[in-house]
Structure 1
Amino acid sequence: MLVVTGTGTGVGKTVVAAAIAALARTGGRRVAVLKPAQTGVAPGEPGDLEDIVRLAGEVTTRELRRYPDPLSPEAAARRSGIAQVGPAEAARAATQLDERHDLVLIEGAGGLLVPFGPDGTSLVDIAWALGALVLVVAEAGLGTLNTTALTAEVATSRGLHVAGVVIGSWPREPGLAALSNVRDLPVAAGAPLLGALAEGMGALDRDAFLEQARRGLSPWFGGEFDAERFEKEAAAQT
Structure 2
Amino acid sequence: MIIAVSGIDTGIGKTEATGLLARAVMDAGKNVITQKMVQTGCCGIAEDILRHREMMGCGVLEIDRQGLTCPYVFPMPASPHLAARQEGVKVDPAVIERSTSELQQRYDVVVMEGAGGLMVPLDGDLLLVDYLALHHYPLVLVTSSRLGSINHTLLSLEACRRRNLPIAAVLYNRFAEEDAVIAADTRLFLEKYLRSTSPGTPVIELPDTRSRVTGETARQLARAVISILP
TM-score with structure 1 length normalisation?
Answer: 0.80
Which residue in the other structure is 2:150 paired with?
145
Task: Tell me the alpha carbon deviations over residues 168-227 of structure 1, each in whole angstroms, 9 at most, x when there is no partner.
Answer: 23567851010011111234554433411122x42x4xxxx25366266362236xxxxx
Matched, 1:118 2:124: yes
Provide the rounded CA distance (Å) in 2 between the counterparts of 1:139 and 1:7: 8
What letter is aligned with 2:114? G
Q: 2:202 aligns with which of 193, 196, 200?
A: 193
Matched, 1:163 2:168: yes
Which residue in the other structure is 1:217 paired with?
221
Aligned pairs for 1:56-95 (under 5 A) are 56-58=56-58, 62-81=69-88, 83-95=89-101
Which residue in the other structure is 2:52 paired with?
52
Kindly indicate whether the alpha-carbon contact (under 8 Å) linking 2:25 and 2:222 is maintained by their aligned counterparts in 1: no
RMSD: 2.5
Taking only the aligned residue pairs, the percentage that are identical comes to 29
Aligned pairs for 1:35-50 (under 5 A) are 35-43=36-44, 47-50=47-50
What letter is aligned with 1:69? M
Which residue in the other structure is 1:102 paired with?
108
Task: Determine helix, strand or coil for the equivalent of 2:116.
Answer: strand
Gaps of 5+ in 2: none
Cα deviation for residue 118 of structure 1 reads: 1.4
Task: Determine helix, strand or coil for the equivalent of 1:110.
Answer: coil
Provide the rounded CA distance (Å) in 2 between the counterparts of 1:84 and 1:188: 38
Kindly indicate whether the alpha-carbon contact (under 8 Å) linking 1:87 and 1:122 is maintained by their aligned counterparts in 2: no
Is the deviation greater in 187-196 or in 159-168?
187-196
Provide the rounded CA distance (Å) in 2 between the counterparts of 1:156 and 1:93: 27
Which residue in the other structure is 1:230 paired with?
none
Kindly indicate whether the alpha-carbon contact (under 8 Å) linking 1:134 and 1:163 is maintained by their aligned counterparts in 2: yes
Kindly indicate whether the alpha-carbon contact (under 8 Å) linking 1:137 and 1:165 is maintained by their aligned counterparts in 2: yes
Which residue in the other structure is 1:31 paired with?
32
Provide the rounded CA distance (Å) in 1 between the counterparts of 2:115 and 2:171: 17
Kindly indicate whether the alpha-carbon contact (under 8 Å) linking 2:41 and 2:77 is maintained by their aligned counterparts in 1: yes
TM-score with structure 2 length normalisation?
Answer: 0.83
Cα deviation for residue 91 of structure 1 reads: 2.3
Kindly indicate whether the alpha-carbon contact (under 8 Å) linking 1:21 and 1:31 is maintained by their aligned counterparts in 2: yes
Gaps of 5+ in 1: 223-238
Task: Determine helix, strand or coil for the equivalent of 2:72.
Answer: strand
What letter is aligned with 2:31? R
Kindly indicate whether the alpha-carbon contact (under 8 Å) linking 1:172 and 1:198 is maintained by their aligned counterparts in 2: no
Which residue in the other structure is 1:229 paired with?
none
Kindly indicate whether the alpha-carbon contact (under 8 Å) linking 1:4 and 1:106 is maintained by their aligned counterparts in 2: yes
